Amino acid sequence: MFICTKQKNSGRTGRSNTLPQQTVFCLVRHGSTDWNVEGRIQGWTDTRLNADGRREVEEAARRLQGRGWEGIVASDLKRARETAEIIGHELGLEVLFFPKLRERSFGPLEGMNQAQVEVAYPGSRPERELPGLESKAELRSRAEQAFSFLARIFEGRRMIVVTHGGLLKAFFAQSLQTEERTVANAETVEVVFADGNWRFN
């Protein structure tokens, strides 16, 4: 379920006998990769952060310091792993990896830019005809399940979650009933789960 990596002291605090009703997540999109710059579809392809991406994440980590975060959960894809490990190192937090936080699987589209997709699959070819391409409905369902699970596991905590732009868009649309919101590389967005509902913080 979770894969754990060692960092410095976790910085977690003890829990009181009365469980808090509010769980806070700081959602972080991974830093930039060369494929982001080139406009190529990444999906489950295991790309790494580039130098700009690492700098972006270091800056994000500095903004997150001193705010009582207790741990980090991240997608297991390399660009998210690196992002989480940089933040974990800076904040002294334990990092857990959760594969359900992966980006949308784009199957045969991965590695292509938009122009190449239009040449390879002209017109409005149905998604279901592309093997390995996760539909938007499937992605939204996975995002909702993943965050609902994390909200139960980390009830009352303040956790950082490192994931991907596509999964965040799906989560916002499915669980916060918003339009699909674009999150920039290394951008942070806080959400709260309380009384069975999600909201932006």
What are the tens digits of pLDDT across the range 68-110? 999 999 999 999 999 999 999 999 999 999 999 999 999 999 9
Cα-based distances in Å from 164 to 13, 24, 32, 83, 181: 28, 18, 11, 11, 12
Pairing of strands 95-97, 3-5: antiparallel
Domain 3-8+20-200 is in which class? Answer: alpha beta
- Supply the pLDDT for residue 181: 84
Band the pLDDT of 9: cuts 50, 70, 90. Answer: very low
- Supply the pLDDT for residue 174: 95
- Supply the pLDDT for residue 103: 98
- Supply the pLDDT for residue 153: 96
Please say whether the beta carbons of 188 and 168 come within 8 A. no
Q: How far apart are CA 116 and CA 41, in angstroms?
A: 10
Listed residue (164, 141, 180) closest to 49, CA to CA:
164
Band the pLDDT of 13: cuts 50, 70, 90. Answer: very low
Question: Please, what is the average pLDDT of the chain?
Answer: 90
Mean pLDDT of all residues in 2-19:
50
Q: Which residues are catalytic?
A: 30, 103
